[in-house]
């Protein structure tokens, strides 16, 4: 049986943990709703513990690194090293993978649970069988929701679209960056039928921005997404 827990991945830039209060807020809300208990470790104390773990793991100071928080139903918290980046700060990643849409709805809750993560991993396997690297989740209403379980954004002209979704640190960072880049943002659903009218698709996760080169075989550009990544701000 799969162990049930909540999770978040914290970005460390030059040894400093970023947006820890936001990650605590996501975990606290989900833990209260699903487990009936609060999560309030204190942002400064948690950041210090995350940074100490990264130092103990000898994360390089010149690039970013990641630490994963796992929170169990009984309130047990785990901090786990989650690797390092090739980049310094939130990045526009040089990798531009190909994606396919995969039909699936989230299991029970949109909270960041291990069950949701397992569903996304299964969808990724299905995408790989189709010759792609990324699974774009299509729900039962035909709406494109996420890419590899990260918030998904579509670009047509100078307008950025994103389907309404659960709160996350990465979604908030991307929304702020989109507006800072001077782009119009519309929070409205878009689906498979809209793919021919979109110029770009990108997703935002703890590493930064990843543009898709193709989705369901349709070629995509990678111009505006780079501006969004730059607007995520200095480390």
Entry pTM:
0.94
**Where does the pLDDT of residue 234 fall: very low under 50, low under 70, confident under 90, or very high at 90 and above?**
low
- 3-state SS of the chain: helix, strand, coil percent to 5? 30, 30, 40
**What is the span of the domain harbouring residue 217?**
91-230
For CA atoms 72, 135, 226, 86, give the dihedral sign. Answer: positive
- Angle at the Cα of 140 (from 111 to 33), degrees rounded to 5? 20
3-class SS at 13?
strand
| Number of domains making up the chain | 2
Mean pLDDT of the 150-172 span: 94
* pLDDT attached to residue 233: 65
2/148: higher pLDDT: 148
Distance between CA atoms of residues 235 and 229, nearest Å: 12
Among residues 52, 84, 116, the one where a domain terminates is 84
Mean pLDDT of the 215-232 span: 93
pLDDT in tens, 9-26: 999 999 999 999 999 999
- Whether 220 and 104 map to the same domain: the answer is yes
- Whether 221 and 122 map to the same domain: the answer is yes
Among residues 45, 69, 84, the one where a domain terminates is 84
3-class SS at 235?
coil
Strand partners, 202: 153, 211
């Amino acid at each position: 049986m799969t162990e049930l827990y909540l999770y978040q991945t914290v970005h460390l830039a030059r040894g400093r943990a970023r947006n820890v209060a936001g990650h605590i807020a996501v975990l606290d809300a989900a833990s209260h709703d699903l487990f009936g208990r609060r999560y309030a470790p204190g942002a400064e104390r948690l950041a210090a513990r995350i940074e100490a773990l990264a130092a103990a793991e000898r994360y390089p100071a010149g690039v970013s690194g990641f630490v994963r928080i796992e929170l169990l139903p009984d309130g047990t918290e785990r901090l786990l090293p989650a690797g390092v980046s090739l980049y310094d700060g939130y990045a526009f990643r040089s990798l531009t993978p190909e994606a396919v849409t995969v039909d699936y709805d989230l299991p029970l809750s949109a909270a960041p649970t291990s069950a949701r993560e397992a569903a996304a991993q299964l969808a990724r396997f299905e995408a790989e069988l189709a010759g792609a690297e990324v699974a774009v989740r299509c729900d039962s209403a035909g709406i494109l929701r996420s890419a590899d379980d990260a918030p998904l954004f579509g670009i047509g002209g100078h307008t950025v679209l994103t389907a309404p979704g659960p709160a996350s640190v990465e979604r908030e960072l991307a929304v702020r960056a989109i507006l800072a880049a001077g782009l119009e943002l519309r929070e409205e659903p878009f689906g498979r039928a809209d793919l021919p009218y979109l110029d770009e698709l990108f997703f935002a996760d703890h590493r930064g921005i990843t543009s898709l080169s193709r989705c369901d075989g349709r070629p995509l550009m990678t111009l505006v997404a780079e501006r969004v990544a730059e607007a995520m701000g200095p480390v």
